[in-house]
């Protein structure tokens, strides 16, 4: 389902980031990151192409809004994975942003990422 896809992982909790990386690589995809902060994520995006991204909402340097804005502007599908709720500003900007609640079910995560990649292909992204 994720064969060869490049998945950006933005998560500041080390154990969760490790788990996400294992799930992604176990699905035959390539994990980009993980990045712990918006700054790290944005730096990765300067030289890495990604097909889809997993974003935690609350990062070591604040809400993930700057990273989400950059990804969405580039046409990269974003999946929010959080234990919290989407901030009002993000809900207003992106009402259809998909969210998975932590703790994550690996099968649901892979299924959601695969669906986002398929939608991107259908919308004209490779």
pLDDT digits (tens, 9 = 90+) for 74-123: 999 999 998 877 777 788 888 888 999 988 899 999 999 999 998 876 55
Does residue 43 belong to any structural domain of this protein?
Answer: yes
CA distance 104 to 92: 25
The CATH number linked to 56 is: 3.40.50.2300
* 112 vs 58: CA distance, rounded Å: 20
Tokens of 87: 């901030």
Does residue 10 lie in a domain region? yes
Residue 1: the pLDDT is: 73
Q: Which long-range contacts (CB under 8 A, 24 or more apart) does 68-75 make?
A: 68/94, 68/97, 70/41, 70/42, 70/45, 71/8, 71/45, 74/45, 75/120, 75/123, 75/125
Whether residue 120 contacts residue 59, with contact meaning beta carbons closer than 8 Å, is answered with: no
Overall domain count for the chain: 1
The answer to whether position 1 is within a domain reads no
pTM of the full predicted structure? 0.91
State the distance between the two ends of the chain, measured CA to CA, in whole angstroms: 15
């Amino acid at each position: 389902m994720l064969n060869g896809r490049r998945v950006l992982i933005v998560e500041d909790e080390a154990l969760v980031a490790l788990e996400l990386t294992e799930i992604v690589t176990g699905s035959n995809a390539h994990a980009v990151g993980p990045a712990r902060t918006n700054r790290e994520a944005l730096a990765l995006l300067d030289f890495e192409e990604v097909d889809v991204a997993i974003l935690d909402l609350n990062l070591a340097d604040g809400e993930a809004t700057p990273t989400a804005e950059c990804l969405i502007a580039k046409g990269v599908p974003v999946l929010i994975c959080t234990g919290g709720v989407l901030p009002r500003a993000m809900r207003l900007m992106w009402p259809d942003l998909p969210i998975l609640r932590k703790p994550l079910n690996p099968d649901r995560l892979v299924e959601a990422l695969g669906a986002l990649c398929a939608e991107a292909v259908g919308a004209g992204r490779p």
